[in-house]
Amino acid sequence: MNNKIDSKIAEIIQHKLEEVQAKLTHQDYFNHYILETLESFAFRYFDNPLVSEQLSSNVMRVIAIEKGIKEAIKIKNPELRAGIGELVKRVSKEQGPTILREIRVKLDRSSTHGGSCLVIARVSFGHPDHDFAKGTFVENSNLFKFEDEVHFRNTLAKHLEVVCELF
């Protein structure tokens, strides 16, 4: 009797995996999954996140511009704390200094189902324009390879968690 039940459970699990695989192979669904995951992380780590957005076919992000430096001072990263300290010296409280937090996902689909993914968490203290090219930011990044869409889905959050230690 137990073998019959175990066999039925294995069959149900296999069917669900195939169903998820089929959905994730559709690019729109795959991208939607990434955007929803980014929003979930943004609500965990940002005070006032904006809606996640797709910048190109393979780049998605979510950002938050945070006013007031009180919460940002709690950040433990020494390089980032120094940058925020410089921001506080440069921009008065009355001018409303801001920092910009971002979580970004960049995909490289090298095969039909697999590829690699670069996840990035970064904080800009380059008030007011927050131009990441000027060196007024600190970032954590992590590159991982995935075999297929299900493997990607099962590992994305783990890699986002690692880079979000910056916050």
Question: Mind giving me the DSSP string for 106-126?
Answer: EEE--SSS-EEEEEEEEEE--
**In the prediction, which pLDDT does 93 show?**
84
**In the prediction, which pLDDT does 21 show?**
59
pLDDT of 72 over the 70 cut: no
Q: Return the percentage of the chain with pLDDT > 90, whole number.
A: 47
For 160, the token pair is 């986002």
What is the value of pTM for the model shown? 0.81
pLDDT of 1 over the 60 cut: no
Contacts 24+ apart (CB under 8 A), 126-133: 126/100, 127/87, 127/90, 127/91, 127/97, 127/98, 127/99, 128/98, 130/65, 130/98, 130/99, 130/100
Q: Return the percentage of the chain with pLDDT > 70, whole number.
A: 88
Give mean pLDDT, residues 15-43: 79
Whole-angstrom distance, CA of residue 161 vs CA of residue 139: 14
Phi and psi for 138 in degrees, rounded to 5? -130, 140
Give mean pLDDT, residues 19-23: 61
pLDDT digits (tens, 9 = 90+) for 100-157: 999 999 999 876 778 999 999 999 999 989 988 778 999 999 999 999 888 999 999 9
**In the prediction, which pLDDT does 22 show?**
58
**In the prediction, which pLDDT does 105 show?**
98
**In the prediction, which pLDDT does 88 show?**
85
